[in-house]
Amino acid sequence: MRLYFLDPSCRAAVNVARLRRSNFDVGRLIAESAESLDALIVIGNGTPDDSILGVLSFHLDGYKTVGIVKPGEMTHLSVLDVLKTYLRPRIRKLMILIDQEDLTLDNLFDNALRRMRGTGISVDHVEEMERLRVCRCSLAGRDFDVIIVANGLEEVSSQTHSIEDHLTKAAEIEVAENSKRSWRSLNRSEREEVFKRLQEKRIDEIEDIFPQQVSGCRRLAEE
């Protein structure tokens, strides 16, 4: 999987490029051409979700190019309000990467479906997986899939669940109430060392740390 940034100067592109500090071959992660682009990842929360996508791109090696976009100042579920603006002619799959935060998983996914329907998108079928929903959708005669991935791990004792749950697990540090604060308590060199270790891990170890994100990316890459 290679990443194509709709805006090459965006913060997400910059953050993925910075993975070179943790020994990643950034040239292997980033695609320069969007030819035949048919899949898109919409980042709901921003950073460090973008860096994690770089890690997954490295481990899910292949020829599939996936677009990446972070919709302006919108965060969390609000990105679904503009989802249909990314339905370019060839796009047939979109993955939404969002933090669970303080919502229950049922509330999160119910709210996501309600917001999509509120924009005119028909949700015809929903496949339920662990912290992940694959929605068969349609709009104006076009069929497409929306894959909603909720960041977070039940095994991490955090008041709110987020992508930092996965990073604190990778860092093997104890969470003191909030995984975001625990992750941010590490200095820059310590965080870069965690990403360096992620680069060195086997794919089964990556799947253990980022189970729903790996599943979502694989569904996105399916023909």
Q: What is the pLDDT of residues 18-39, one digit of tens each?
A: 999 999 999 889 988 877 789 9
CA 7 to chain centre: 17
SS3 call for 63:
coil
Beta strand ranges found along 81-131 (DSSP E): 93-99, 122-129
DSSP class of 89: T
Average the pLDDT over 83-89 and give the result.
85
Kindly report the pTM of this predicted structure: 0.94
pLDDT(103) > 90: yes
Confidence band for 124, pLDDT divided at 50, 70 and 90: very high
First-to-last C-alpha distance (Å) of the chain: 13
pLDDT in tens, 145-192: 999 999 999 999 999 999 999 999 999 999 988 999 999 999 999 999
The C-alpha atoms of residue 169 and residue 160 are separated, in whole angstroms, by: 15
